[in-house]
A and B are shown apart, each in its own frame.
Chain A
Amino acid sequence: MEQATDSGPDCEGGSSRRQFIRSLAAISAGLTVAAPLGRAAIPEESIPQTAPPNSGSGLGLVRINLKVNGNTRRLFIDPRVTLLDALRDRLELTGTKKGCDRGTCGACTVHLDGRRVLSCLTLAVMAKEREVTTIEGLAKGDELHPVQAAFIECDGFQCGYCTPGQIMSAVACINEGHSGSEREIREFMSGNLCRCGAYPNIVDAIKIAAAKMKGEVS
């Protein structure tokens, strides 16, 4: 399994913080009877050979291939696990954020076969064999995606929690051809809430990134 990489402001000190949280989680897991649902995904290596077939019959776990950011990952999961929980808790791609977990805030936005969707309302089992792109898959090596660069340039965030969802949504918004005016950007970005209220800067970032992506600005 490859290392999950974190982007942007999260990088500084992020790994030690995560290790700390993980060790806490390990302690508390020892105290609870049942693991949370997201953790119901178990490593492929420990799958018994009698695993149920791909179509997922019975109340047992389901074997799926998830193609995330160009890598195929094999998972053995409870069909209740959402794509969001599979990404964060099983594949350790924590760039995708859990906000409301009810399809209202947009923090969990990812691309499925190139289209923006909410990973909190997508069952992981239904994303099998489809192309999932998360915020971790946007940059080309060290080169940020134009939308990522524009968010930094325009200060398109404060706390940053909604930012991965905003950026994934913004990339799709531009690709769909819905960045023609400020009004259009606001309308087609309305599914991504920002409680810090960074909206004006987010709109600016999208305008700049859209121009760059069209090649109007070098």
Chain B
Amino acid sequence: MRPFTYEVPSSIQEATSRGGADAAFIAGGTTIVDLMKLEVMNPSRLVDVNPLPMLGIQMREDGLRIGALEKMSDVAEHPEVVANYPVISEALLQSASAQIRNMASIGGNLLQRTRCGYFRDVFTPCNKREPGTGCSAIDGENRMHAILGTSSSCIATHPSDLAVALVALDASIYIQNGAEERVMNLDDFYLVPGETPDHENQLRPGELITAVRVPRLLWARRSTYLKIRDRESYEFALTSAALALDLNGDTIRDVRIAVGGVGTKPWNLPEVRQALAGKPLKPETFAAAAKLAVNGANPLRHNGFKVDLVQRTIVRALMNLGGLA
């Protein structure tokens, strides 16, 4: 690990003024300490945001507000979250381990870096870590990599389960910069790699995520997160689906759906949503709609199985939630 200065700001405003290209914020540390040990991230200043007032989980008129410093474990088991947004709770409980969920913050979870082995290995070329050096994964080991939103520069998968659930629910984040606050839709916040895979989101240097807002959606009480992985627990997704289902008898009134493990960002599926709305609750409907999820998929040597697997994941999630399984 390279040397750094450890700084403790006394206000959010001071934190953002201390931020910058040479600095990194630290909350739970589960990503940044790991990547600093690997020398993948080498901030010369580490700004500890833990003392800042960014806590609280509240159900309000306009929806759920989660402070960025809330721990994954606390959000996962919060009664309002469990009751109103099971998909969030399930996505969190299927993430990482109990220890890591006790450490990792919600804001940090949304900013966690890819698990691409080449990104994490400073001795191999990687456009995300070192722009212009090339992508080792495209012709390398790419079983865990993305099939959607990829480019000739980068095929790294976005690793967050929580982000998939939040994108499905049309969540937004609050971003603070000095005295200014802006609100941004989470789906818009994340960027596909294109030619600049080092730019993963719209956060500017020094900016801090202070909270997450999930719109009120009464029928999100019928929602779930299905995660398919190599091990039953403590493993990143091969594929996953975040799903909320609004039923009117045997007819699908509306759906919210996004998938994980397959995209360079959490992959929202408005086409699948449109294809399901107003249709009968039947396996044939599900399969036809799920096909739309892989429009434009670009499978490579080792990850072609994800094209089928993600469709089956969507179908199974619909079967489970629709009571047909």
> Which residues of A approach B to under 8 Å, CB–CB?
37, 55-59, 62, 78-80, 82, 101-103, 106, 109, 115-118, 121-123, 125-126, 169, 172-173, 176, 178, 186-192
A residues in contact with B38, CB < 8 Å: 102
- Report whether B233 and A118 are in contact in the complex, using a CB–CB cutoff of 8 Å: no
Does B181 sit within 8 A of A, measured CB to CB? no
- Report whether A123 and B233 are in contact in the complex, using a CB–CB cutoff of 8 Å: no
* Chain B nearest CB, measured from A24 CB (Å): 25
A residues in contact with B232, CB < 8 Å: 187, 190
- Report whether A190 and B103 are in contact in the complex, using a CB–CB cutoff of 8 Å: no
- Report whether A117 and B102 are in contact in the complex, using a CB–CB cutoff of 8 Å: yes
Chain B residue at minimal CB-CB distance from A116 = B99
Partner of A190, one of B73, B102, B234: B234
- Report whether A188 and B34 are in contact in the complex, using a CB–CB cutoff of 8 Å: no
Give CA–CA (A129, B96) in the complex, Å. 27
A residues in contact with B196, CB < 8 Å: none
- Report whether B6 and A169 are in contact in the complex, using a CB–CB cutoff of 8 Å: no
Give CA–CA (A118, B34) in the complex, Å. 11
A residues in contact with B6, CB < 8 Å: 56, 62, 79, 123, 125
Partner of B33, one of A37, A121, A187: A121
- Report whether A191 and B97 are in contact in the complex, using a CB–CB cutoff of 8 Å: yes
Give CA–CA (A186, B233) in the complex, Å. 9
B residues in contact with A118, CB < 8 Å: 30, 99-100, 103
Does B26 sit within 8 A of A, measured CB to CB? yes
- Report whether A172 and B4 are in contact in the complex, using a CB–CB cutoff of 8 Å: no
* Chain B nearest CB, measured from A197 CB (Å): 14
* Chain A nearest CB, measured from B268 CB (Å): 29
A residues in contact with B66, CB < 8 Å: none
B residues in contact with A103, CB < 8 Å: 30, 33-34, 100
* Chain B nearest CB, measured from A63 CB (Å): 12
Give CA–CA (A102, B196) in the complex, Å. 28
Count A-B pairs with CB separation below 8 Å: 88
B residues in contact with A101, CB < 8 Å: 37
State the 8 A-B residue pairs at the shortest beta-carbon distance, nearest first. A191-B97, A190-B233, A79-B6, A56-B6, A190-B234, A115-B102, A121-B33, A80-B1
Known: A56-B6, A101-B37, A191-B96. 12 other contacts (CB 8 A): A57-B5, A103-B100, A116-B98, A116-B102, A117-B99, A121-B103, A122-B103, A123-B29, A178-B98, A190-B231, A191-B97, A192-B97
B residues in contact with A55, CB < 8 Å: 7-8
Partner of B3, one of A80, A102, A188: A80
Give CA–CA (A109, B37) in the complex, Å. 18
Chain A residue at minimal CB-CB distance from B35 = A102
B residues in contact with A126, CB < 8 Å: 26, 29, 48, 50
* Chain B nearest CB, measured from A209 CB (Å): 16
Given known pairs A55-B8, A121-B29, A190-B233, the reply for A102 and B102 (CB within 8 Å) is no
B residues in contact with A78, CB < 8 Å: 3
- Report whether B99 and A123 are in contact in the complex, using a CB–CB cutoff of 8 Å: no
Does B135 sit within 8 A of A, measured CB to CB? no
- Report whether B7 and A57 are in contact in the complex, using a CB–CB cutoff of 8 Å: yes
Give CA–CA (A125, B38) in the complex, Å. 20
Does B46 sit within 8 A of A, measured CB to CB? yes
Given known pairs A121-B30, A190-B97, A190-B233, the reply for A59 and B5 (CB within 8 Å) is yes
Given known pairs A59-B5, A118-B99, the reply for A102 and B233 (CB within 8 Å) is no
